[in-house]
Amino acid sequence: MLLSPFNLTERIMIPLVEEPKEHFEEFRMYEKCYFECGSKTKFWHWRTNQPICKKCAKTHKVSEVEKCTPKYKAPTKAEYMKSL
């Protein structure tokens, strides 16, 4: 099946940012993926502040991810990266 930008059933990968190496060095651990796979990951979806592995990002939609807390105000990607 050929997927095109006009195919509405096509899944789009959840956009992720990579956690800085310094965070791992400070805490010596990665978070478990938000989804059921439970993989440890260094990638995050900045709009919800949730850890998501690359494999799950390819098979799930952003609408499936809840914010880390109900009152979390989603920053822009630039703001999120600056806060790291």
- pLDDT of 2 reads 44
Structural domains counted in the chain: 1
Q: Is 17 within 8 Å of 46 (Cβ atoms)? A: yes
Structural domain range at position 72: 17-83
pLDDT of residue 10 exceeding 60: no
Q: What is the pLDDT of residues 16-44, one digit of tens each?
A: 998 888 877 777 888 999 999 989 999 99
Q: Which long-range contacts (CB under 8 A, 24 or more apart) does 49-52 make?
A: 49/74, 52/14, 52/16
- Whether residue 62 lies inside any domain: the answer is yes
Length of the chain: 84
pLDDT band at 6 (very low <50, low <70, confident <90, very high): very low
Q: Is 44 within 8 Å of 50 (Cβ atoms)? A: yes
pLDDT of residue 59 exceeding 60: yes
Instruction: Give the predicted TM-score (pTM) of the model.
Output: 0.72
- Whether residue 4 lies inside any domain: the answer is no
